């Protein structure tokens, strides 16, 4: 029952993502049919730098719906059930998560850094994980003995904790990802989901810098914190503070 480290892998994304977004934006402002432009884009007749500049300029106007045509798919492991519950609250996305009904060989777990750095807290946490794992195994065996058999796992899993490690495949379009990064890269986000978001953002920046180089916590784009003074972390002045100075 070991502690499981975080791993985030980009499995796939829409082919030619920059050109597809460029073509989608152009259709909004272009009298012709972008399908006629598409072969030229794929052949490199319109420079990628020119495409990126056009896309960036339109995004600055606030028009961002065409980026929904491109999606990214990630495989994530080494996160807790507590973390996955936060991620799946982002509803414009698709998820495929490891089942606790069918995967029963081990119970890996995630330990919060604040607990891990305190020896007595870490020892107590690990002891509890051992106890839970033992209780889970005992309950499963008892249920099998009483005829529950293949259904034993689905009842025994009720004792598994929020710390139990899970694996999940996530697909989001670019617009959903930008919103996800706005919220989850913020220093006020819970440490584990922020760690996942930061790792996903690094992969997105490699694959599609024109869209994601400026992505991240909302304050980094605005230059001020959109939260009230009560919730601001102090990295940036709040909007109210800026207005008071003006």
**How open is the CA angle 197-82-87, to the nearest 5 degrees?**
40
Please state the domain extents for the chain.
1-110+164-215, 113-162, 219-246
Any idea what DSSP says for residue 3? B
pLDDT in tens, 57-72: 999 888 999 999 999 9
Q: Which residues contact 228 (CB under 8 A, 6 or more apart)?
A: 238, 240
Whether residue 115 contacts residue 139, with contact meaning beta carbons closer than 8 Å, is answered with: no
pTM of the shown model: 0.93
pLDDT in tens, 144-193: 999 988 889 999 999 999 999 999 999 999 999 999 999 999 999 999 99
Tokens 């009842």: give the residue.
Answer: 155
Confidence of residue 39 (pLDDT cuts 50, 70, 90): very high
Q: Give the least confident one: 37-51, 52-66, 101-115, 116-130.
A: 101-115
Under a CB-based contact definition with an 8 Å cutoff, are residues 185 and 216 in contact? Answer: yes
pLDDT at 130 over 90: yes
User: Tens digit of pLDDT for each residue in 85-99?
Assistant: 999 999 999 999 999
Strands 165-173 and 94-97: antiparallel
Domain range 1-110+164-215, its CATH number among 3.40.190.10, 3.30.1360.170, 3.40.50.300, 3.30.365.10:
3.30.1360.170
Residues annotated as part of the active site: 184
């Amino acid at each position: 029952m070991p502690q499981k480290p975080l791993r985030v892998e980009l499995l796939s994304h829409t082919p030619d993502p920059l050109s597809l977004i460029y073509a989608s934006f152009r259709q909004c402002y272009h009298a012709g049919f972008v399908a006629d432009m598409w072969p030229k884009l794929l052949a490199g007749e319109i420079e990628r730098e020119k495409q990126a500049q056009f896309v960036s300029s339109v995004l600055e106007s606030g028009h961002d719906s065409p980026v929904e045509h491109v999606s990214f798919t990630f495989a994530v492991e080494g996160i807790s059930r507590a973390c996955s519950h936060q991620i799946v609250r982002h509803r414009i996305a698709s998820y495929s998560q490891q089942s606790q009904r069918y995967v029963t060989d081990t119970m890996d777990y995630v330990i919060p850094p604040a607990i891990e750095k305190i020896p007595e807290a870490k020892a107590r946490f690990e002891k509890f994980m051992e106890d839970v794992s033992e209780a889970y195994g005992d309950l499963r065996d008892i249920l099998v003995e009483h005829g529950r058999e293949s259904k034993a796992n689905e009842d025994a899993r009720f004792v598994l904790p929020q710390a139990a490690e899970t694996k999940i495949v996530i697909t989001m379009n670019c617009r959903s990802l930008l919103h996800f990064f706005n919220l989850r890269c913020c220093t006020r986000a819970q440490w584990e989901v922020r760690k996942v978001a930061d790792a996903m953002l690094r992969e997105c920046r490699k694959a599609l810098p024109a869209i994601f180089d400026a992505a991240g916590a909302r304050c980094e784009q605005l230059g001020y914190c959109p939260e009230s003074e009560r919730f601001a972390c102090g990295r940036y002045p709040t909007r109210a503070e800026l207005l008071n100075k003006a």
